[in-house]
Structure 1
Amino acid sequence: MKFIALFIAFIFLYLNTKTLVITFFKQISLFFLFLIVVCSSFGQSKYFLETELMGGKIVPNYSVNFPKSTLQTAFAINLGSFNTDTSSWARYYNFPETGLAFFGSNLGNNKIYGNQFSLSPYIQFKLKNKKNPFYIKLAIGASYFTTHFDSISNTDNVAIGSGFTWGFQAFLYKTIYHNNGLHLRFGGGYSHASNGHTQLPNFGLNSGLLSLAAQFYNPKKEPKNLLSVSKQKSKSIFINFRQGIGFHELGGTAEPIGGTKREVYTSALSLGIIFNKHLKVRTGFAYRYYEQYNNYIVTTQNADYISAPKINSSNIYFFIGSEFLMGHIGLDVMGGLNLYKPFYKEFNTVYEKNEGPTYYLKKLFASRMGLNLYLINTNKLPQHNFFIGTHINANFGQADFTEFNIGYHFQLN
């Protein structure tokens, strides 16, 4: 009942997003509610606690006047669970660990960057089933920065333009010590934060970090001999429809500052195959309408676009996507080819000023990544299913807007 109540609450807020996007705080509240729903789906009987100490450095991602910083120090507290149910999605992914990570970091320059705090669902894959294995950990969630760009007091921080951002981490670990109730792991990886172009400036902040992690657990609940379970092969054909509403500021990565946030509306239809109940591959077409583009055309009376402002504010693209299904959760990635996006030429001329291959890559290719939450466990292959999601969308690799989605899944066989 808790899961259903949270699901209904999210849909209610989603349907009222038109009024919620007035302020950034209200927009972020939707994302935090989604995180709560995601975390509630991780309930398992086999829990562990993992602590991490980290050190590293901010990696410059632009060349002019990048602020200096000293050693970045960080810690993480991970509350997770072993997934050992041989009849569930976990078998397909070699019984990974899942959980919720709290991450805190001093970024090495208190005046400009301050401190970062993140809350992220994560999944940790074991690469080999041996005594001291390697692990890959992926986490995506929300971050809060105590210091960010300010047009008066902090003009040097063009990396982080808002207090709340997306947070993403990818780490590789090696188990260096194993004993009853304790795993010690050493690893390193990449940490990224960006607000998805919802508030400028937004170059994003990247860090390289080394980690020493200690996992504490009940040795009686440690999973053993799970690879002996065979995997069943299957294929299922499906149709997906989703409706999205996003928001962003009009401008380049660095400016203009303080612009109005407006909506991006998306409708997408796709056909695909679910392999072995857990890998969802699809292809289809999507239509987008940018309120920002329409407002710009009407306000400036731009001669190239004013004859049909709504049509010239539209975007049609073909896409191919894959989704990794884990019960109620889906990790969703997509790449697309823009078939029609006339205003991008003007957008680039005024704001980005890219030339040559960089311009054409951003004009032609769209990308998208995020999380979906399904009403019915996808492992059951239901004929009808509904989902909600939150994604970051990009022009090639450059953030375009942040989006919330609601969708319908229909299985044909």
Structure 2
Amino acid sequence: MIKLCFFLLLKCISCVSLFAWNEANHQYRFFTVQYHYQYIWPHRPDLKEHAGNPAKALEMHLGWRTSGSQLWHRLYNFPSYGIGFYYNHLGNPDVLGEVRSGFAFMEFYAPKERLIRWQLRVSLGLANFNTYYHPENNPENRFIGTPWNVHFNLNYAWSIPIGEQLRITPGLAFTHFSNGAYQKPNRGINIFDVNMGIRYRFGKGDPGEFWANDPFTDGKTISEQTFFAVFSVGLMQREMDDPTYIARTLTLNHTIRKKLRTRWGVGIDIFYDDHAKEQMRLLNEETSPMDYTRVGGFVSCDIIFNRMVVILNRGMYVYYGYEPQGNQYSRIGLRYITKSGLTGHLALKAHAGRADYVEWGIGYAFGDK
């Protein structure tokens, strides 16, 4: 599982780099160094005693501003994308330790270029902790149970010029670390911070002013229908001493695209996991597959970035043999659609904000792609 995560992160970073080096696709490159002064949110009472000291982090990233050579550049007001490195001293070296992350990011800007502008950066990557839960060596850490975890970050900043090629970027950020519940404990760590960065833009010259209401894209309507069939597999652990169970999902999703940025749809999930199977057999030795199968119906919203799509689903169980953790569930993730229709799927399934498992899927898109 971890090797697969690491491979996909490297693949994502290499694809970003190769795409970025195409001169036609970007206006300019930039490099940013950022310092974070952080507050670890004690979302569980036992975290409060271990997170008394402020955390401090250093972040560096290399990015490229898109040029408008592709439609999605103009749809999202010429965003930037890139790769970065993150180091965090969590303020308690014995229990929480230190974390190092590699990540890919996308950054969005205010509709108009102004002297002082706001920007929102979304980062996703893989984090390595040097200290995590161990029943003998570190039993007090009930928040991070594995060395490798997901790194997620939102950073809202103001970009202020201090020269032709330099900007300072004071901002506010939220960072989350967890392993997606594939191994307990997995309470996760949530961090809020204030930060200050300095950004250097390579190359001289005015990058120009760009407008979100591109006359070729603004308000344009289309009519496309796409049907997705995806089979996903995930790993999960319910309690700390439980084995790791395999969860399987068949997703059927019909979508309609009326706007260039989004697709909306409805779908059906068929869930089958080994934990439900085990629990049902403990209750009754004579069981059938329908006793530990769950069926859910959901509504979907896809946010489209060329062939990469952010998927947002909200669903409800309509049939189950073994009772789930909640009647409703959500899914957030990424889907990549090739020209041939083959799709790759990576998403987090959750109940009421608590991770259920991470889905790794493959499927096919029928219809308009």
Structure 1 length-normalised TM: 0.81
Give 2:58's match in structure 1, choosing from 70, 75, 82.
75
The structural deviation recorded for 1:64 is: 4.1
Give 1:51's match in structure 2, choosing from 33, 52, 60.
33
The structural deviation recorded for 1:157 is: 0.8
Q: Which amino acid aligns with 1:30?
A: L
Q: Which moved more, 1:216-225 or 1:310-319?
A: 216-225
Instruction: Give the paired residue count.
Output: 355
CA contact (8 A) 2:337 2:365 kept: no
The structural deviation recorded for 1:223 is: 3.4
CA contact (8 A) 1:297 1:309 kept: no
Query: What per-residue deviation string (whole Å, max 9, x for no partner) do you get for residues 357-380 of structure 1?
Result: xxxxx511111112223323xxxx
CA contact (8 A) 1:273 1:281 kept: yes
Higher strand share: 2
Give 1:229's match in structure 2, choosing from 206, 214, 218.
214
In the alignment, which residue of structure 1 is the partner of 2:138? Answer: 154
- CA spacing shift, 1:375–1:221, aligned 2, 3 Å: farther
Query: What per-residue deviation string (whole Å, max 9, x for no partner) do you get for residues 365-403 of structure 1?
Result: 111112223323xxxxxxx42221222111121111111
CA contact (8 A) 1:71 1:108 kept: yes
The structural deviation recorded for 1:178 is: 4.3
Alignment of 1:218 onto 2:202:
yes
Local SS of the residue matching 1:392: strand
CA contact (8 A) 1:330 1:373 kept: yes
Question: How many percent identity over aligned positions?
Answer: 19
In the alignment, which residue of structure 1 is the partner of 2:338? Answer: 375
Counterpart Cα distance in 2 of 1:335 and 1:223: 40
Give 1:101's match in structure 2, choosing from 72, 84, 94.
84
Counterpart Cα distance in 2 of 1:391 and 1:323: 13
- CA spacing shift, 1:140–1:341, aligned 2, 3 Å: farther
Structure 2 length-normalised TM: 0.90
Alignment of 1:324 onto 2:324:
no
Mark the runs of 5 or more structure 1 residues left unpaired by the alignment. Answer: 1-26, 346-361, 377-383
Mark the runs of 5 or more structure 2 residues left unpaired by the alignment. Answer: none
Counterpart Cα distance in 1 of 2:156 and 2:248: 37
Counterpart Cα distance in 1 of 2:314 and 2:11: 26
Alignment of 1:343 onto 2:327:
no
Query: What per-residue deviation string (whole Å, max 9, x for no partner) do you get for residues 96-133 of structure 1?
Result: 11111211100000000111112221111102421211
The structural deviation recorded for 1:55 is: 0.9
Local SS of the residue matching 2:304: strand
In the alignment, which residue of structure 2 is the partner of 1:356? Answer: none
Alignment root-mean-square deviation, CA: 1.9
Counterpart Cα distance in 2 of 1:340 and 1:163: 37
Counterpart Cα distance in 2 of 1:162 and 1:148: 6
- CA spacing shift, 1:407–1:35, aligned 2, 3 Å: same
Query: What per-residue deviation string (whole Å, max 9, x for no partner) do you get for residues 157-208 of structure 1?
Result: 1111111111111111011334211121100111001111101011110011
Q: Which amino acid aligns with 1:369?
A: I
Local SS of the residue matching 1:220: coil
Q: How does 1:181-200 map to 2 (within 5 A)?
A: 181-200=165-184
Counterpart Cα distance in 2 of 1:61 and 1:406: 35
Q: How does 1:15-54 map to 2 (within 5 A)?
A: 27-42=1-16, 43-44=19-20, 45=23, 46-54=28-36
Q: Which moved more, 1:123-132 or 1:283-292?
A: 123-132
Give 1:203's match in structure 2, choosing from 187, 192, 200.
187
Counterpart Cα distance in 1 of 2:313 and 2:4: 22
Query: What per-residue deviation string (whole Å, max 9, x for no partner) do you get for residues 135-157 of structure 1?
Result: 11111222111111111111111
Higher helix share: 1
In the alignment, which residue of structure 2 is the partner of 1:286? Answer: 269
The structural deviation recorded for 1:278 is: 3.2
Alignment of 1:312 onto 2:286:
no
Counterpart Cα distance in 1 of 2:110 and 2:119: 6
Q: Which amino acid aligns with 2:223?
A: K
Q: Which amino acid aligns with 1:168?
A: F
- CA spacing shift, 1:105–1:185, aligned 2, 3 Å: same
Alignment of 1:92 onto 2:55:
no
- CA spacing shift, 1:166–1:176, aligned 2, 3 Å: same
In the alignment, which residue of structure 2 is the partner of 1:248? Answer: 236
In the alignment, which residue of structure 2 is the partner of 1:354? Answer: none
Give 1:391's match in structure 2, choosing from 341, 347, 354.
347
Query: What per-residue deviation string (whole Å, max 9, x for no partner) do you get for residues 213-258 of structure 1?
Result: 111112436632221632143231111111101111133xxxx33x
Alignment of 1:268 onto 2:251:
yes
In the alignment, which residue of structure 2 is the partner of 1:60? Answer: 42
CA contact (8 A) 1:140 1:169 kept: yes
In the alignment, which residue of structure 1 is the partner of 2:328? Answer: 365
CA contact (8 A) 1:28 1:164 kept: yes
Alignment of 1:170 onto 2:154:
yes
Local SS of the residue matching 1:147: coil
Counterpart Cα distance in 1 of 2:273 and 2:153: 30
Counterpart Cα distance in 2 of 1:178 and 1:234: 43
In the alignment, which residue of structure 2 is the partner of 1:16? Answer: none
